[in-house]
């Protein structure tokens, strides 16, 4: 569930005819790796843990590479090449515990002129010098530049895709229309280079597209995606209201053998905890939440530890939201935690 | 002894100043006026230039670099992705920029109307955010562009604070305006975040701008943000290699120098005039001090006898000069600031020159400039005192104690060569080429000519009076007057120096302005041959479409219509734009030079204006290449025409050729000839009704007579400062004559007493004084007018072409010159008589006794 660039479309209360999200629509690949321009928004969300390839003992760092596509409808016809409806927003961050701070960068552009586009048919999304695409070798590739450091990464799939919800239809609120098409690709093996030096690690791809995502009562959400050391994958999320109560919740657990369990809203219990106040924005973030989920009728408690508390991302000057997106560990796994709507309500 | 001297010095000094308050006040005033004018001109200029520069920077959004289309019609937008991908470029932001207007525009010369001009800008907000954050809107919700209200929402517009203020509109209101010949109605979404308080501009989405302005595929500029640590020169070279002929690379420095170039010549000339006024002040100080020295020569001799060394004498006079200079400078600064304040409020930052339309000037008090101008005033006063002080120190005390005449032997001929040498040097400098595009050397030459003329006065006075002196006269008063003037040329020239300097300057200005005005008037008649003119304001991006033109041409009562398309072209990055005028029908311009040779094949005939020829070095008969509509076109320069309206150059092309080359069918101007018997008012109304409603607010109709009147009014207003300068110079000069005369008369009391004693009647004495005065006035007038004509020649033939790149025909305002000479003579004679009457009021016995 994610995320923020959604903000781009915030005021689009226009009655535009976006494509609706419906259950029972089968996902087809590689077409669904590509863009769905008829929907209001979608994202390609790669999060992972990196370390230098040569030194296995070196401390790991977190990385996040995200591309958003947002459709801003236009009325009437236009003769201008600038009159495109699609906006591409990309965000990349590197969390080095040694520095204690996040380094991040953004790119944003309306599509067109060969400078920004999200291809249909297969994964290939680019904005200016940044690009995320699927190669003929079946691997995913990313090129981004963060604070002068180029990240050139390849992601090799080691497991099949994980369709979230009911065959890729993932409900996000009490109404069936509050939903997205959602699949993940856990346990991607990272190879490539960071600033020219070889790196290795494990990543996770999240793919969602939707036109109506949030319940009107919702102010934000929390999300967690974990690559488990045993080869399993755990996804948990909840949508919050103003009081911090869950409007909706969900997720899934897939074990190493591929057996997948989808959680019902009452099978996820998420409590904000481990508050950290950002010295820059003044916002408070629950970076160590207490999370439980019920798997096979048994409540499991996971203890979440952030790689470092300061993984706040302020992209407000670039037109994005203020949120917290951080590398976290749990006993027996590592992944990414996302917190939104804590500084100000997220409107979608 | 030293104590006695210093007491005596102080006492004499105070006594002198008590005795001659008017002359001292005059010297102070002369310095003050010079300082005030110089300071005021500087203040007004820097205020205007500063605000203009800030407004320009706002419109440009403070990008690192900008690629600009040379013409308002823009360039191919496909340059944008190519620039965006260049190494070293962090971000590129395409911009549509057109002139637009709201409400009804005021005609030049008429009271302000409820409307105005502004710059309409179309941006891709997402790009502008990184490159030109100043051009990003803040909506009512507080944040910019994306997020709270996507900038590319159609039907929305963001206004700069200055434009919001000017229109009186608030966010949420409808803003109706005209751009590219069409009416638009958009909702104000908010104000622009960082557009300063001076620029009037509005921002919409670039796609909407292209749609609304009919500008598909074209942008006016592409703003660039350099990557961190990028080498500007290397990136510029890479950009340069990409640029098509209709685009050029503009740097912030280049833009600033363009703003500077717009008005530089005008500002520098005004500044020079102020310095000339200061120079006049210097002459007045010199003349006042010289007279006072001459009168006090016995006092100085007494002091010398008492033991005051010569250095002390010079020092005393310099202290007097210092006090004069300090007082003058202080008064001048206060006066100058007040004057600048008045000028900015009355005429705007360009003193009516019309260079900075739309920018609101703010006056500051720059301490450094104030010090500089005060210093200039002080130096002038000191220099004016030093010369007579040195002269006084040279005179032997014995001769001085007797208080005889000039202190020089009347039999010795005054030297002419220093004056002649100065005149020769001045003439040489006046003919020198411009420095940095400005007539600095010509002005220096004028100063030397002035100094030479004044230095030549004693010799000239003697030369003029020599024949008379040889003949003598049977009429006693005339004989006495001639001999006196002939015998004491130094005293005569002292009285005259101020008046000669100020008369010469006044004559020079009057002749230059008269020549200019006459030439402008002739030119106006030549360029306005039709009966009715239509001009669309702010219509460069697109004026009247062919259908509208046809409707206008079909209006009854017309015998003919000559359409015209005007747009500005930027030929060089740091230069103001050149006007390209595509004219239908026969070009109505006064040609200065032309070629009868036919245009070579494949070229388009072009007429260029005089400034164009000067600035870009184009010659008649040459073939030059010019980028029109993105492609280089070969133009055959068929002639040069006189143009006073476009200081930075203009090119006339046949409209048919322009349309063939560009495909642009619109027009921005039209001239109409009426059918015989047609009523101009009715035709104008019919034409106005035939215009599309959207451009009604932009359309300005004019008739030749009224346009001429308005143009000359604007001309007079821009020269208002010059007229004021002239008036001040002449008043100071006349007052100077009056005071020098009365001083001289008072100094000659003993002489009068003696003359009375030997039987010369009171009436005869008065006649003698009147004749002396008239003679001096005449010599001054002749010398001043002659010198002034020389200076005028420098102004007309050197300063104007070098500054503004146009020529003019010399026209002499004879009535004014004659009147001036007559006023001088009358004033000099009159003052002499008035002073004489007062002096002769006491009995001859008393007067003679005072001598011994």
Does residue A36 have a pLDDT over 90?
yes
Instruction: For an interface test with A, give the residue of B79, B122, B147, B225 to mutate (most A CBs within 10 A).
Output: B147
Q: Mean pLDDT over residues A75-100, rounded?
A: 88
Weakest mean pLDDT among A187-201, B140-154, B459-473: B140-154
Task: Centre a 10 Å sphere on the Cβ of residue A270 and count the other Cβ atoms it contains.
Answer: 23
Query: Searching chain B, which residue's CA lies closest to the CA of residue A77?
Result: B211
For testing contact with chain B, the best of A145, A319, A320 (most B CBs within 10 A): A319
B618-647 pLDDT, tens digit per residue, is: 999 999 988 887 788 899 999 999 888 888
Q: Does B210 contact A320 at a Cβ distance shorter than 8 Å?
A: no
CB contact under 8 A, B147 and A7: yes
Minimum distance, in Å, between the CA of residue A46 and any CA atom of chain B: 23
pLDDT at position B410 is 58
Confidence of residue B53 (pLDDT cuts 50, 70, 90): low
- Residues of chain A with C-beta less than 8 angstroms from the C-beta of B78: 113
User: For residue A3, what pLDDT band results from cuts at 50, 70 and 90?
Assistant: very low
What is the model's pLDDT at position B729? 65
Higher local confidence (pLDDT), B513 or B279: B513
Of A121-135, A242-256, B332-346, the least confident: B332-346
* In contact, B508 and B788? CB cutoff 8 Å: yes
Is residue B506 within 8 A of residue B277, CB to CB? The reply is no
Buried b (16+ CB within 10 A) or exposed e, A237-248: bbbbbeeeebbb
The label of the residue with tokens 């002068």 reads: A148
Q: What are phi and psi of B535, to 5 degrees?
A: -130, 130
Q: What is the pLDDT of residue B6?
A: 65
List, as one string, the DSSP characters of A13-82: -S---PPPP-TTPPP-TTGGGS--TTSSEEEEEEEEEEEESS-TTSPPEEEEEEEEEEE----S----TT
User: Do residue B126 and residue A320 have CB atoms under 8 angstroms apart?
Assistant: no
User: Is B146 within 8 Å of A321 when comparing Cβ atoms?
Assistant: no
Contact B94 A319 (CB under 8 A): no
Lowest mean pLDDT among A6-15, A327-336, B562-571, B679-688: A6-15
What confidence tens digit (pLDDT) does each residue in B575-599 have? Answer: 778 889 999 887 778 888 888 888 8
What is the C-alpha to C-alpha distance for residues A118 and A109, in angstroms, rounded to an integer? 11
Which candidate, B430, B484, B427, B436, places its Cα nearest to that of B461?
Answer: B484
Task: Find the range with the poorest average confidence among A23-32, A305-314, B208-217, B386-395.
Answer: B386-395
Query: Mean pLDDT throughout B165-182?
Result: 87
In this complex, the residue of B78, B80, B150 whose CB is nearest that of residue A72 is: B150
Residue B29, pLDDT > 90, answer no
> Which residues in chain B are closer than 8 Å to A75, comparing Cβ atoms?
154
Taking one residue from A and the other from B, the number of pairs with CB-CB distance under 8 angstroms is: 80
From the CA of B671, how many Å to the nearest CA of chain A? 34
At B817 the pLDDT is 87
Q: Give the integer Cα–Cα distance in Å for A24 and A39.
A: 17
B207 touching A (Cβ < 8 Å): yes
Phi, psi of B579 (to 5 degrees): -90, 130
Whether B661 has a pLDDT exceeding 90, the answer reads no
Interface residue of A80, A110, A131 to substitute, partner B, most B CBs within 10 Å: A80
pLDDT at B575: 75
Please list the residues that pair with A45 across neighbouring strands: A66, A206
Relative orientation angle of helices B704-718 and B489-527, to the nearest 10 degrees: 150
pLDDT band at B460 (very low <50, low <70, confident <90, very high): confident
Distance CA B795, CA B722 (A): 13
Distance of alpha carbon A114 from alpha carbon B520, whole angstroms? 54
Band (A285; pLDDT cuts 50, 70, 90): very high
Asked if the Cβ–Cβ distance from A79 to B124 is below 8 Å, we say no
B833 or A146: which carries more pLDDT confidence? A146
Domains of chain A: 28-339 (2.40.370.10)
Residue A36 Cα, gap to closest chain B Cα (Å): 21
Greatest Cα pair distance, chain B, in angstroms, is: 105
Q: Indicate if the pLDDT at residue B728 is higher than 50.
A: yes
Q: Does A344 touch chain B (CB under 8 A)?
A: no
Q: What is the domain partition of chain B in residue ranges?
A: 1-54+254-405, 71-245, 459-529+704-852, 532-702
Q: What is the mean pLDDT of chain A?
A: 89
Residue B10, token pair as written in the block: 């102080």
Which range is least confidently modeled, B91-105, B398-412, B574-588, B614-628? B398-412
| pLDDT at residue B111, rounded to an integer | 53
Instruction: Answer for the pair B529, B588: CB distance below 8 angstroms, yes or no.
Output: yes
**Is residue B677's pLDDT more than 70?**
yes
Contact B80 A113 (CB under 8 A): yes
Q: How far apart are CA B131 and CA A49, in angstroms?
A: 33
pLDDT in tens, B296-306: 766 777 777 77
Nearest CA in chain B to A113: B81
Helix (H, G, I), strand (E, B) or coil at A9: helix
pLDDT at site A11: 41
Is the Cβ–Cβ distance between A193 and A40 less than 8 Å? no
What is the predicted pLDDT for the residue at B311? 73
Q: Answer yes or no: are the C-beta atoms of B168 and B200 closer than 8 Å.
A: no
Q: Give mean pLDDT, residues B80-107.
A: 87
Give the span between the Cα atoms of B454 and B63, in whole angstroms: 55
Judged against a pLDDT cut of 50, whether residue B356 lies above it is answered with no
In terms of Cα–Cα distance, which of B91, B95, B144, B149 is closest to B122? B95
Nearest by Cα to B89 from B221, B238, B219, B217: B238
Do B150 and A8 count as a contact with CB atoms less than 8 A apart?
yes
> Which residues lie below 8 Å from residue B314, measured CB to CB, with a gap of 6+?
B386, B389, B390, B393
Q: Is the pLDDT of residue B279 over 80?
A: no
Say whether residue B619 is in contact with chain A using an 8 A CB cutoff: no
Decide if B84 touches A, using CB distance below 8 A. Answer: yes
The whole-angstrom distance between B147's CA and the closest CA on chain A is 5
A319, B146: Cβ pair inside 8 Å? yes
Highest mean pLDDT among A55-64, A177-186, B334-343, B540-549: A177-186
Whether residue B2 is predicted with pLDDT greater than 60 in this model: the reply is no
In A, minimum Cα distance to B206 occurs at A82
Determine whether the interchain pair A80/B206 forms a contact, defined as Cβ–Cβ distance below 8 Å: yes
- Is 60 exceeded by the pLDDT of residue B108? no
Please give the pLDDT value at position B423.
92
Maximum separation of any 2 CA atoms in chain A, in Å:
60
Three-state DSSP class for B475? coil
The CA-atom distances, in angstroms, between B105 and each of A87, B617, B698, B699, B701 are 40, 37, 6, 8, 12
Residue of A nearest to B80 (CA): A113
* pLDDT band at residue B256 using 50, 70 and 90 as cut-offs: low
Q: Where is mean pLDDT largest: B355-369, B468-482, B656-670, B689-703? A: B656-670
Higher pLDDT, residue B452 or A10 = B452
Residues B81, A87: C-beta atoms closer than 8 Å:
no
- Contact between B124 and A110 using a beta-carbon 8 Å cutoff: yes
- The position carrying tokens 């080429």 is B433
Residue B640, CB half-sphere, CA atoms under 13 Å: how many?
19
Handedness of CA B591, B594, B596, B598 (dihedral sign): negative
A115/B contact by beta carbon, under 8 A: yes
Partner-chain residue, chosen from A11, A81, A320, that has the shortest CB–CB distance to B150: A11
pLDDT value at residue B222: 94
Rounded percentage of chain A residues whose pLDDT exceeds 90: 67
- Look at residue B1 in the predicted model and tell me its pLDDT: 46
Q: Do B206 and A82 touch (CB under 8 A)?
A: yes
Cα A195–chain centre separation: 24
More confident of the two residues A255 and B465: A255
Question: For the ranges B284-298, B455-469, B785-799, which has the lowest average pLDDT?
Answer: B284-298
Q: Which residues of B touch A12 (CB under 8 A)?
A: 150
Provide the percentage of residues in chain B whose pLDDT is more than 90. 13
**Contact residues on chain B for A114, CB-CB shorter than 8 A:** 81
At residue B462 the predicted structure's pLDDT band, cuts being 50, 70 and 90, is confident
Query: For residue A305, what pLDDT band results from cuts at 50, 70 and 90?
Result: very high
- For residue A129, what is the nearest residue in chain B, using CA coordinates? B85
Mutate to test the interface with B, among A82, A112, A316, A343 (most CBs of B within 10 A): A82
Query: Is B207's CB within 8 Å of A319's CB?
Result: no
pLDDT band at B749 (very low <50, low <70, confident <90, very high): confident
The ipTM of this complex is 0.87
Contact B560, B685 (CB under 8 A): no
Binned at pLDDT 50, 70 and 90, residue A39 comes out as very high
Burial class (CB in 10 A: 0-12, 13-18, 19+), A101: middle
Q: What's the pLDDT at A302?
A: 93
Q: What is the DSSP string of B94-138?
A: EEEEEEEEEEPPPPTTS---SEEEEEEEEE-HHHHHHH-GGG-EE
Q: Which residues of B touch A150 (CB under 8 A)?
A: none
pLDDT at A151: 95
Nearest chain A residue to B130 by CA: give it: A318
Whether chain A has a CB inside 8 Å of the CB on B123: the answer is no
Dump pLDDT digits (tens) for A209-232. Answer: 998 777 888 888 999 999 999 999
Interface test with A, best of B126, B148, B152 (most A CBs within 10 A): B126
Name the 3-class secondary structure at B554.
coil
A11–B77 CB contact, under 8 Å: no
What distance in Å separates residue A198's CA from the closest CA in chain B? 25
Most confident of B57-61, B300-304, B347-351: B300-304
Q: What percent of chain B has pLDDT over 70?
A: 78
DSSP annotation of B544? B
Q: Where are the beta strands (DSSP E) in B413-498?
A: none
């Amino acid at each position: 569930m994610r995320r923020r660039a959604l903000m781009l479309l915030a005021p689009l209360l226009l009655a535009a005819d976006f494509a609706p999200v419906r259950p029972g629509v089968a996902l087809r690949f590689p077409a669904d790796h590509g863009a769905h321009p008829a929907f209001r928004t979608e994202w390609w969300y790669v999060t992972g843990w990196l370390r230098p390839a040569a030194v296995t003992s070196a401390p790991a760092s977190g990385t996040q590479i995200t591309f958003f596509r947002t459709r801003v409808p236009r009325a009437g016809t236009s003769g201008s090449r600038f009159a495109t409806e699609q906006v591409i927003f990309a965000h990349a961050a590197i969390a080095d515990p040694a520095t204690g701070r996040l380094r991040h960068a953004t790119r944003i552009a309306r599509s067109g002129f060969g400078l920004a586009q999200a291809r249909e048919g297969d994964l290939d999304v680019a904005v200016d010098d940044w690009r995320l695409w699927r190669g003929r070798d079946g691997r995913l590739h990313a090129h981004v530049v963060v604070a002068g450091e180029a990240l050139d990464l390849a992601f090799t799939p080691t497991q099949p895709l994980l369709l979230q919800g009911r065959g890729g239809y993932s409900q996000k609120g009490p109404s069936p229309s509050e939903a997205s098409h959602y699949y993940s690709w856990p346990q991607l093996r990272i190879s490539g280079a960071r600033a020219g030096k070889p790196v290795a690690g494990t990543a996770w791809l999240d793919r969602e597209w939707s036109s109506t995502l949030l319940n009107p009562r919702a102010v934000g959400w929390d999300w967690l995606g974990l690559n488990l050391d045993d080869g399993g994958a755990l996804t948990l999320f909840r949508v919050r209201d103003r009081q911090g109560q869950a409007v909706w919740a969900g997720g899934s657990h897939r074990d190493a053998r591929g057996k997948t369990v989808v959680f019902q809203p009452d099978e996820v219990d998420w409590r904000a905890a481990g508050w950290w106040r950002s010295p820059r924005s003044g916002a408070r973030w629950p970076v160590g939440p207490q999370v439980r989920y019920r798997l096979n009728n048994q409540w499991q408690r996971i203890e979440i530890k952030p790689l470092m508390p300061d993984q706040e991302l302020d992209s407000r000057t670039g037109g994005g939201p203020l949120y917290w997106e951080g590398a976290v560990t749990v006993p027996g796994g590592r992944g990414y935690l996302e917190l939104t709507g804590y500084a100000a309500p997220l409107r979608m | 002894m030293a104590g006695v001297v210093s007491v005596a010095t102080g006492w004499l000094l105070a006594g002198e100043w008590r005795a001659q308050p008017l002359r001292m006040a005059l010297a102070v005033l002369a310095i003050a006026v010079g300082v005030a004018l110089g300071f005021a001109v500087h203040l007004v200029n820097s205020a205007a230039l500063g605000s203009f520069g800030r407004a320009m920077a706002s419109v440009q959004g403070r990008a690192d670099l900008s690629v600009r289309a040379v013409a308002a019609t823009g360039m191919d937008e496909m340059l944008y992705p190519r620039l965006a991908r260049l190494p070293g470029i962090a971000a590129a932001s395409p911009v549509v920029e057109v002139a637009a207007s709201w409400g009804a525009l005021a005609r030049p010369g008429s009271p302000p109307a409820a409307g105005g001009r502004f710059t309409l800008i179309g941006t891709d907000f997402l790009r502008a955010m990184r490159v030109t954050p100043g051009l990003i809107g803040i909506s009512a919700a507080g944040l910019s562009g994306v997020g709270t209200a996507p900038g590319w929402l159609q039907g929305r517009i963001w206004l700069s604070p200055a434009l919001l203020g000017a229109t009186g509109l608030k966010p949420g209101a409808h803003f109706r305006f005209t751009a590219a010949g069409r009416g638009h109605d958009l909702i104000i979404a908010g104000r622009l975040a960082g557009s300063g308080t001076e620029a009037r501009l509005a921002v919409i989405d670039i796609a909407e701008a292209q749609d609304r302005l009919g500008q598909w595929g074209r942008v006016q500029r592409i703003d660039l943000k350099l990557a961190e640590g990028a080498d500007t020169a290397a990136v510029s070279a890479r950009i340069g290699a990409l640029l098509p002929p209709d685009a050029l690379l503009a740097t912030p420095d280049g833009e600033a120098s363009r703003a500077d170039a717009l008005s530089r010549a005008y500002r520098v000339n005004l500044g020079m005039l102020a310095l000339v006024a200061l120079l006049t002040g210097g002459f007045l100080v010199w003349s006042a001090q010289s007279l006072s020295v001459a009168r006090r020569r016995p006092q100085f001799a007494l002091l010398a006898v008492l033991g005051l060394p010569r250095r002390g004498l010079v020092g005393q006079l310099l202290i007097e000069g210092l006090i004069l200079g300090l007082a003058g400078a202080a008064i001048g600064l206060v006066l100058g600031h007040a004057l600048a304040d008045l000028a900015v409020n009355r005429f705007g930052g360009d003193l009516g020159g019309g260079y900075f339309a739309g920018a609101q000037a703010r006056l500051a008090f720059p301490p450094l400039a104030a010090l500089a101008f005060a210093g200039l005033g002080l130096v002038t006063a000191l220099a004016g005192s030093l010369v007579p002080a040195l002269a006084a120190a040279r005179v032997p005390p014995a001769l001085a104690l007797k208080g005889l005449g000039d202190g020089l032997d009347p039999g010795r001929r005054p030297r002419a060569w220093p004056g002649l040498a100065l005149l020769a040097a001045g003439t040489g400098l006046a003919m020198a080429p411009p420095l940095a595009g400005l007539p600095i050397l010509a002005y220096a030459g004028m100063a030397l000519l002035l100094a030479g003329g004044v230095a030549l006065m004693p010799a000239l006075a003697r030369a003029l009076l020599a024949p008379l002196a040889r003949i003598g006269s049977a009429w006693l008063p005339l004989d006495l007057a001639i001999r006196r003037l002939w015998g004491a040329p130094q005293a005569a020239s002292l009285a005259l120096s101020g008046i000669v300097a100020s008369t010469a300057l006044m004559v020079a200005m009057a002749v230059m302005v008269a020549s200019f005005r006459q030439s402008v008037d002739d030119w106006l008649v030549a360029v306005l041959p039709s009966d009715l003119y239509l001009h669309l304001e702010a219509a460069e991006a697109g004026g009247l479409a062919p259908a509208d033109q046809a409707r206008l041409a079909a209006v009854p009562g017309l015998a003919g219509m000559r359409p015209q398309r005007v747009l500005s072209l930027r030929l060089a990055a740091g230069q103001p734009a050149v006007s390209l005028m595509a004219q239908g029908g026969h070009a109505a311009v006064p040609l200065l030079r032309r070629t009868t040779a036919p245009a070579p094949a494949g070229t388009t005939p072009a007429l260029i204006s005089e400034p164009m020829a000067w600035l870009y070095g184009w010659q008649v008969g040459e073939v030059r290449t010019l980028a029109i509509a993105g492609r280089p076109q070969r133009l055959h320069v068929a002639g040069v025409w006189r143009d006073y309206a476009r200081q930075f150059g203009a090119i006339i092309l046949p409209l048919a050729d322009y349309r063939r080359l560009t495909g642009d069918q619109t027009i921005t101007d039209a001239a109409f000839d009426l059918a015989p018997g047609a009523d101009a008012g009715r035709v104008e109304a019919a034409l106005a009704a035939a215009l599309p409603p959207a451009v009604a607010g932009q359309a300005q109709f004019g008739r030749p007579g009224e346009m001429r009147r308005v143009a000359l009014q604007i001309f007079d207003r821009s020269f208002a400062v010059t007229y004021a300068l002239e008036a001040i110079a002449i008043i100071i000069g006349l007052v100077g004559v009056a005071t020098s005369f009365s001083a001289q008369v008072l100094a000659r009391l003993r002489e009068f007493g003696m003359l009375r004693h030997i039987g010369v009647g009171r009436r005869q004495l008065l006649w003698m004084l009147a004749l002396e005065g008239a003679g001096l006035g005449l010599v001054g007038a002749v010398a001043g007018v002659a010198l002034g004509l020389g200076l005028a020649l420098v102004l007309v033939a050197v300063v104007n072409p070098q500054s503004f790149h146009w020529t003019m025909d010399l026209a002499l305002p004879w009535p004014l010159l004659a009147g001036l000479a007559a006023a001088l003579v009358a004033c000099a004679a009159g003052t002499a008589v008035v002073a004489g009457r007062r002096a002769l009021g006491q009995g001859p016995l008393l007067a003679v006794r005072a001598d011994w």
